[in-house]
Structure 1
Amino acid sequence: GIEVVTGVCEKEAQRLNERFFTWITKQRPFITLKYAMTLDGKIATATGDSKWITGEEARTFAHRLRKQHDAVLVGIGTVLEDDPELTTRLVRGKNPVRVVLDSSLKISLMAAVLNPLADTIIFTGLDSDIVKTEALAALPNVEVVRLPLADGVLPVAQVVQALAERDITSLLVEGGSAIHGAFFDAGLADRVCAFVAPKLIGGAAALPPIGGAGSSLVETGWQLTEVEIEKLGSDVLITGLVPELDKQELPKEAE
């Protein structure tokens, strides 16, 4: 005589625990790709300038995202161009572990990302300068991980595996076009957080948010699901889940 109702608030519960569920079922961090772009789909001008595309509210929200993830990842290009701290200084909360992809160890020993405010992991190639490697590893809260390169770049799948071995359960990727493309090409993207500003900068050489090989057809591109839209000042945040590649519906000619 007892009525049982199942699936109550199932989607809300999955959304609340998406990082934990991915960690348990896939044994890797839940990966969020975050970027800010103009209305014409650019993350930087042709000269590389990218400050600031979005306003203060969007940037504060981005720091809140850092607080919600165990680690935040950027490439050496971002470190050399912007010298970021990658902390949560705009909000109250813990700083994430800072991860830098630097295949040839170009990072400066004075880089802001090496300050002792949080732990930092630098991934580099096996042939990187051993003296500089030891100097970096001697800094407080800094670890250097050497990996074999694939076609001159660090394989993101091995980076993610190494982070999983260090109990990193969620990763916020704030890379540039090339790094975002590498994560998409490797099938290692779970959620996208795209901040869109009502600006236009134009330029054929201006960078798009996602590089890499990409999809050859529009209809086989990644169609985000459970999309949410939020207004942040004059900017808009669009976020959604990235479907697994092998679960996407392919066009009949590609089946």
Structure 2
Amino acid sequence: MAVLTESDVRTALAKVIDPEIRKPITDLGMVKSIDISDDGAVGVGIYLTTSGCPMKTEISDRVKNAVADVEGVGTVSVELDVMNDEQRTELRKSLRGDSAEPIIPFAQPGSLTRVYAVASGKGGVGKSSVTVNLAASLTARGLSVGVLDADIYGHSVPRMLGNDAKPTQVEKMIMPPQAHGVKFISIAQFTQGNTPVVWRGPMLHRALQQFLADVFWGDLDVLLLDLPPGTGDVAISVAQLIPSAEILVVTTPQQAAAE
């Protein structure tokens, strides 16, 4: 029988993908320790990004299953720990670089992400329905898709996706939750219940900028923005922040909507 080595276990762990960041846990510095007993029992120490990580059970299960498949492994135990500030800083740098100012990746010249702003001249014509169904359809075709709920006042994307999960924050980096394979972010995830948002132009611009720059979207094929109706502050901000964005105009046959 071949001798079980730490290298064998680490190779198996390289196949474990972090459910939020979508990269191998070995590349993210999440493997704390590997202990192998003479009888083949393996103990794996895993660093979580935050103590309240909502995916800790899923990560633990993925680690157990991956290691259990290695030839010669007996029982598998997983011990969870939490990254310290220095480790989180290194993680952020590895994912986002070391720029002091947040950068909007979709506005960079080399970006391969197609950005579509779903707009309308009037409310209630189905922008959000088009956005979430288009996102789910594109994901089903194998594309990596994100949805930004830019309708700050009338946010509805989390409800339509059937997911009220909160984002995880690692330093100044925000990890968006996923539903139906779609990454999404909305102001609804940062407010209590149905609390109304009463913001003016500059605050709306800053919120949109933060959702574009501080959220770790990863390598998206398509980013969809669900805009509020009309051509107000948010629509103008999108044009300024992502000049290459394309517009999908949703309308219904009624004259008030079509005009």
Question: Which protein, 1 or 2, shows the higher relative CO under an 8 Å CA cutoff with sep ≥ 6?
Answer: 1
Q: When the two structures are superposed, what TM-score results if normalisation uses the length of structure 2?
A: 0.36
Taking structure 1 as the reference length, what is the TM-score of the superposition?
0.36
Tell which structure's C-alpha radius of gyration is larger.
2
